Amino acid sequence: MSETAFVLIIDQDAEQADRMAETLRQQGHACRTAQSASEAIESVHARSPDVIVADQRMATETNGANTRPLMQWSRLAPDAEVLLLVEDRQQDVASRLKSRYTFSDVLHRRVPADALQEAVARAAEKARQNRANRALQLQAERRCEFEGLVTGNEQMIRLIHKIQRVADSKLTVLILGESGTGKELVAQAIHRHSPRARKPFRAINCAGLNENLLESELFGHVKGAFTGAVADRKGLFEVVDGGTLFLDEVGDMPLAMQAKLLRTLENGEILPVGSNEIRKVDVRVVAATRRNIQEMVEHNEFRDDLYYRLNQATIRLPPLRERRDDVPILVDHFLHEAADVHNKPVASVGGEVLRKLSAYRWPGNVRELRSVIDQMVVLADGTELGVDDLPEVIRGSTDIILASAPSTAGLTMQQMEKLHIANTLKLTGGNREQTAKMLGIGARTLYRKLREYGLQ
């Protein structure tokens, strides 16, 4: 079955409008009817439709303000596709109207049910493509690229400005964010835009390294300090002297090592393993963690004095699910990047693919999105990525298949709420107004939850 849409049916004949609405609801569309141009305007203000099915005479007559209703509807709902309903004797009107108005098709007022469903399905797909194209255009106008960070999101653009200001300072920076949000890109950007840019930059992941190994990696060791230490070896603090050291996943650093790191940050001194000689270094530290470090401090899992020393400036990167408006621009960026790298002719993404990518929750954030696009481009047969090219986990991510008497044991409250909303939507045939009433919530609350759970 095709994807559902919100359809506004405008006809003075209430029975005719209701019959059309019932026909379209059987196909899963949400419908609203209006019997006057003013009622239609109110409806468009309340919720922008995907498809408008309107009596040609109501759509093109001049109202009191000397404005055609069709022109008002098109201005208020720029992505919507319009289907005009005409009588037999009005068929020749279509060619004259096309020179003055933009609409998708002309249908007979007594159009058969299957023909109406097909016309609305085509118009709905065009509306979705219109919406996707407009989103891309808006994103392109706001597009900002900075040291590998690609965004059109206002919050991210503000963060980039903050990164630029922090980079030119001497502050130690703590970057917070989930895995895959681009913490190392930010660290590299801070280094490249700092006075230390000509000096070395090195990164080390503190997760998975025991205290002894991490101490040797950071501070170095002398010959004979431990089994296998056959020669003196400089640690990263000495290697990047004058430059920047990025401590990734600092929240996983053992407590004993945290004390040694604090000493170095406070006085610029290091003590190689097995040595009695203190050495001075001048290194700027940028640290990052995916963990809730404030909570760790409260539970004595991370030293509060080290936290305050690292946290001279904080950069908090939002997960991709909180900046979904960036998905189209990131898809476009990664698509062309992958096409060049793999020498593939893929040049575009289908509207439905973009919708599903935007609705997915992206637990792996931007890193996961890049990997998915890379895989799709490599495996694609044509020049446009289609739904069949999507990984199964994304292709089916918003489809909830009901079993008889499903068990909710083991589900989170959010998962149960998503399941309940999806069930009620199916029960009402996709009628969102009726769904909101049955759930006992307002329409705006329902629309917000549909976006949040990717059920649109």
Between 377 and 436, where is the model more confident?
377
Residue 422 lies in a domain: yes
CA 441 – CA 420 distance, rounded (Å) = 13
CA distance 341 to 343: 6
Per mean pLDDT, which of 65-69, 104-108, 390-394, 451-455 is the most reliable? Answer: 390-394
Predicted pLDDT of residue 175:
98
Kindly list the distances between the CA atom of residue 146 and the CA atoms of 157, 172, 215, 317, 394, in Å, as whole numbers in the listed order: 9, 21, 34, 14, 29
Looking at the chain, the number of H-run helices and the number of E-run strands are: 20, 16
By C-alpha distance, which of 191, 285, 284, 282 is closest to 247?
285
Whether residues 339 and 432 share a domain: the answer is: no
In this predicted model, which residue has the larger pLDDT, 84 or 250? 250
Are residue 101 and residue 236 in the same domain, yes or no? no
Same domain, 197 and 262: yes
**CATH assignment at residue 119:** 3.40.50.2300
Alpha carbon distance 82, 95 (integer Å): 15
Nearest to 37 by CA among 58, 15, 52, 65: 58
Q: Are residues 176 and 314 in the same domain?
A: yes
CA distance 341 to 390: 20
Looking at residue 86, its amino acid is V
pLDDT digits (tens, 9 = 90+) for 112-158: 999 999 999 999 888 888 887 776 676 667 788 999 999 988 899 99
Tell me: pLDDT of 241 over 70.
Answer: yes
Give the whole-angstrom CA distance, residue 6 versus residue 453.
18
Q: What integer best gives the mean pLDDT of the chain? A: 86
| 346 and 299 assigned to the same domain | no
Give the rounded percent of residues in the chain with a pLDDT score beyond 90: 52
Indicate whether 171 and 297 sit together in one domain: yes
Examine residue 146 and state whether it is found in any structural domain, yes or no.
no
Q: Identify whether residues 307 and 183 lie together within a single domain.
A: yes
My answer on whether 330 and 245 are in the same domain is no
Q: Of 281, 301, 318, which marks where a domain is finished?
A: 318
Q: How many CB atoms lie within 10 A of CB 162?
A: 15
300 within domain boundaries: yes
- 173 shares its domain with 305: yes
Q: Flag whether 408 is in a domain.
A: no
Q: What's residue 93's pLDDT?
A: 62
> Under DSSP, is residue 166 helix (H, G, I), strand (E, B) or coil?
helix
176-220 pLDDT tens trace: 999 999 999 999 999 999 999 999 999 999 997 888 899 999 999
| ∠ Cα 416 419 422 (to 5°) | 150
Within a domain: 445: yes
Q: Is residue 192 part of a domain?
A: yes
Q: In terms of domains, do 158 and 103 share one?
A: no
CB 186 within 8 A of CB 369: no
Domain-terminating residue out of 288, 318, 348: 318
Same structural domain, 73 and 188: no
∠90-93-95 over CA atoms, to 5°? Answer: 145
- pTM, entire model: 0.64
pLDDT of 398 reads 46
Residue-wise over 105-116: b if at least 16 C-beta within 10 A, else e?
A: ebbebebeeeeb
Judged on CB neighbours under 10 Å (0-12, 13-18, 19+), 308 is exposed
**Domain count for the chain:** 4
b/e map of 322-335 (b: 16 or more CB within 10 Å)?
ebbbbbbbbbbbbb
Check residues 97 and 41 and name the one with the higher pLDDT: 41
- b/e sequence 141-155, b meaning 16+ C-beta within 10 Å: eebeebbebbbbbee
Give the number of other Cβ atoms within 10 Å of residue 78's Cβ.
11
Beta-bridged to residue 316, according to DSSP, are 176
Confidence of residue 411 (pLDDT cuts 50, 70, 90): low
- Coil vs helix vs strand at 391: coil
CB count within 10 Å of CB 218 equals: 24
- Boundary-marking domain end, from 105, 140, 175: 140
For residue 91, is pLDDT > 80?
no
Q: Considering only CA atoms, give the Rg of the chain.
A: 29
Domain CATH code at residue 211: 3.40.50.300
What distance in Å separates the CA atoms of residue 11 and residue 56, rounded to the nearest whole number? 9
Within-domain flag for 87: yes
Q: Classify residue 401: in a domain, yes or no.
A: no
Per-residue pLDDT band for 2 (boundaries 50, 70, 90) equals low
Q: Could you tell me the residue range of the domain that residue 68 belongs to?
A: 6-140
Same domain, 245 and 343: no
Per-residue pLDDT at 449 = 84
CATH code of the domain containing 422: 1.10.10
